[in-house]
A and B are shown apart, each in its own frame.
Chain A
Amino acid sequence: MTRLLALFAVLLSFALPAQAQRLISGVSNDTVQITSSFDGERLTFFGTIAPEAGATEQTVSGPFQVVIVVLGPTQDRVAREKTNNFGIWLNTEQVEFRRFPSYFHVLSNKRLLEISDIATLNANYILPESYAMAPNPAGFMKTLNFGRELIRLMSEDGLFGVQETGVQFMSDTFYTAQLTLPSSAPPGPYIAQTYLFKNGELIARKSEGFAVRKIDFERFLAQSATQYPLLYGIACVILALFTGWLGGVIFKR
């Protein structure tokens, strides 16, 4: 009986925000190709807010706020702190963050804290700091401290970022956003989560995927290095011996 009630409650909670809007969104590229001249790539996200299919109202009324979170493939990362021990600076403390996003950028059309409250933003992992609060065996305070430093370091490398003017509304319901993916963006599957807010409440969400991958020669090299390391190593040596020999021949040493 309790289970049935619980199920009912869950269903009710889904049904309650009976919003009459839905998001229709897209992204300009479904793959970003890394070639030998890869120097970053510009992506465009766009979408429109439309009435829910079967809704009685034929128009939607705003104002709406859109937040787009672009997430890269997860990695295990460590943040380390150097401390002075007898005059020498050593890495002494470290916290490991499992399944940490290798790339995280938030685009919005308004300041995030004006769009919604911190609890909602954190619960949806919209703020970078949300990742510093994820459960970790190192303990809450240490994780928070090291997590913030890790986010700062990644922001300096262009891997984490918040652009609170990144989304533009072209009309009341049509928005676009542009993001330049840096060349340091790691290859792998990416997700762009679009959140639609109205009066501080999350009323719709949608996600798109795109892939960043090495192609052609870059892909061939990276694959050989991991799948045939012995052959790859031997090829490196042959290349080195040949280059050295050729240099000697050309310059007649």
Chain B
Amino acid sequence: MQIYLPIAELSVNLFFLVGIGGAVGFLSGLFGVGGGFLLTPLLIFSGVPTAVAVASVTGQVVAASTSGALSHYRRGGIDLHLAMYLVLSGVLGAFGGVATFAVLRDAGQLDLFISLGFLILLGFVGILMLQEAVRALLKHRQGIVVRERLPNQHSWIHGLPWRVRFKKSRLYISVLPVLAIGLFIGFVGSLLGIGGGFIMVPALVYLLRVPGNVVIGTSLAQVVAMMSATTILHAVQSQSVDILLAFCLMVGGVAGAQFGAAAGKNLRGEQLRGLLALLILAVAIRFGLSLVLAPADPFSMAVTR
């Protein structure tokens, strides 16, 4: 069954859209990430214009993260004070990201920068995660009990000025690294059409030492708020949000995420992280190859007006 997408101006199989939404939703439920980093590339590779793919997935990420954020909120797993700082700087970063997006699109270099962005970001994060997961797995096999990182370990980050007390996270830290993380994720997320949960969580854990019980909830709350703002910015700036495309992906994604979350209970944390790392690396390699290998067709076209 074909469905005509009014903004992308092409007709796509409805089951294909809901299907990839569901498949990515399953993985996002399994690994506890938004899934934007998989969905945007999948749409681009299946022929949806890059600008429409990025902007529409932004809307999908909001839906995918909402139910998780709500359940964490009910459990009290969100540090709203910390999330507020992250969102404020994140929205600022998103303004920069959406503006950069428009400049790159007009210059014909959007695809290049999106490929490069995915390659660098996913390659970097994927390798770090894989290292960590392999180390944990090896230790587990040797029977050593893995100790969580100590939350009271201090680094240079804790010596910065303008300290603020975050009660729920039991932190008394400078706002500068908090704002920097928000700004970076806002910029990258709006440029690449990803929520950035897979960068946010490690950043909160390793850089700010946010305790485990509020990390996921705070990150999800930040993704919902920031990606909502980004969706509106994309709608106003580039007018490339396809609400029908986003909705098909949402329906598949929200349903798939439930099954993924159920399946995830059968796997151990470090196994999940190892698998996620491999997935992230696979996407990074796919983008890397598209930059290095000779393209099947060196010519491409775009409508400028």
Q: Chain A interface (Cβ within 8 Å of chain B)? A: 34-39, 75-84, 87-91, 94, 96, 102, 146, 149-150, 152-154, 183-184, 186-187, 214, 218-219, 221-222, 225-226, 229-230, 232-237, 239-241, 243-248, 251, 253
Number of A-B contacts (CB under 8 A): 191
Return 8 A-B CB contacts under 8 Å, by A number: A78-B108, A80-B299, A80-B301, A89-B294, A102-B303, A234-B232, A246-B254, A251-B258
Residue B85 at the chain A interface, CB threshold 8 Å: no
Apart from A183-B4, A184-B11, A230-B235, what 12 extra A-B contacts exist at CB < 8 Å?
A75-B303, A89-B290, A89-B293, A226-B239, A232-B235, A236-B246, A240-B59, A243-B254, A244-B66, A244-B70, A244-B250, A251-B258
Cα distance A19–B59 in the bound complex, in angstroms: 62
With both chains docked as a complex, state the minimum distance between the C-beta of A17 and any C-beta of chain B, in angstroms: 38
Tell me if A221 and B235 are in contact (CB < 8 A): no
B62 at the A/B interface (Cβ < 8 Å)? yes
4 interchain residue pairs of minimum CB distance: A244-B66, A233-B235, A248-B67, A247-B254
When each residue 259-293 of chain B gets 1 if its CB lies under 8 Å from chain A and 0 otherwise, what string results?
00100000000000000000000000000001111
Name the CB-closest residue of A to B9: A186
Asked whether A240 and B250 contact (CB < 8 A) given A76-B304, A248-B71, the answer is yes
Do B63 and A233 have beta carbons less than 8 Å apart?
A: no
Is B146 in the interface zone, CB < 8 Å from A?
no
- State which of B7, B251, B305 has its C-beta within 8 Å of the C-beta of A75: B305
Give the CA-CA distance A34 to B1 in the complex, in Å: 15
Residues of B within 8 A of A79 (CB): 299-301
Interface centre among B68, B111, B300 (most CB of A within 10 A): B300
A182–B101 CA distance with the chains assembled, in angstroms? 30
Per the 8 Å Cβ criterion, residues 18-68 of B in contact with A are 59-60, 62-68
Residue picked from B11, B109, B246, most chain A C-beta under 10 Å: B11
Task: Give the contacting residue for B294; candidates A84, A237, A247; CB below 8 A.
Answer: A84
Separation in Å of the A9 CB from the closest CB of chain B? 39
- The residues of B that contact A241 with a CB separation of less than 8 Å are 62-63, 66, 224, 228
Q: How far is the CB of A225 from chain B (nearest CB, A)?
A: 5
Cα of A251 to Cα of B262 in the assembled complex, Å = 11
Task: Pick the residue among B109, B251, B299 that contacts A81 (CB under 8 A).
Answer: B299
B298 close to chain A: CB less than 8 A? yes
**Chain B residues near A146 (CB-CB < 8 A):** 299
Interchain CB contact (< 8 A) of A183 among B10, B67, B304 = B10
Query: B99 contacts the other chain (Cβ, under 8 Å)?
Result: no
Report whether A37 and B4 are in contact in the complex, using a CB–CB cutoff of 8 Å: yes
Contact with A along B175-213 (1 / 0, CB 8 A): 000000000000000000000000000000000000000
- Whether B84 sits at the interface, judged by CB under 8 Å, is no
- B104 smallest CB distance to A (angstroms): 11
Which residue of chain A has its CB nearest to the CB of B254? A247
Instruction: Please measure, in the bound complex, the distance between the C-alpha atom of A222 and the C-alpha atom of B67, giving whole angstroms.
Output: 29
Q: Tell me the bound Cα distance from A167 to B293 in angstroms.
A: 44
Q: Is the CB of A88 within 8 A of B241?
A: no
- Complex contact A221–B10 (CB within 8 A): no
Asked if residues A243 and B301 are in contact (CB atoms below 8 Å), the reply is no
List the B side residues contacting A240 at CB < 8 Å: 59-60, 62-63, 66, 228, 231, 246, 250
In the bound complex, do residue A233 and residue B250 qualify as a contact, i.e. CB atoms below 8 Å apart? no
Given contacts A35-B4, A89-B291, contact A221 B62 (CB under 8 A): no
Cα(A149)–Cα(B299), bound, Å: 7
* Known contacts A75-B305, A154-B301, A243-B251; A253 and B241 CB within 8 A of each other: no
Docked-complex contact B234 and A233, CB < 8 angstroms? yes
Question: When chains A and B are docked, how far (Å) is the Cα of A82 from the Cα of B231?
Answer: 31
B238-254: contact bitstring with A at CB < 8 Å (1 yes, 0 no)? 01010110110011001
Inter-subunit contact B231/A236 (CB<8 Å):
yes
Q: Which residues of B contact A225 (CB under 8 A)?
A: 6-7, 235, 239, 241, 243
Residue in A183, A234, A248 with the greatest tally of chain B CB atoms within 10 Å: A248
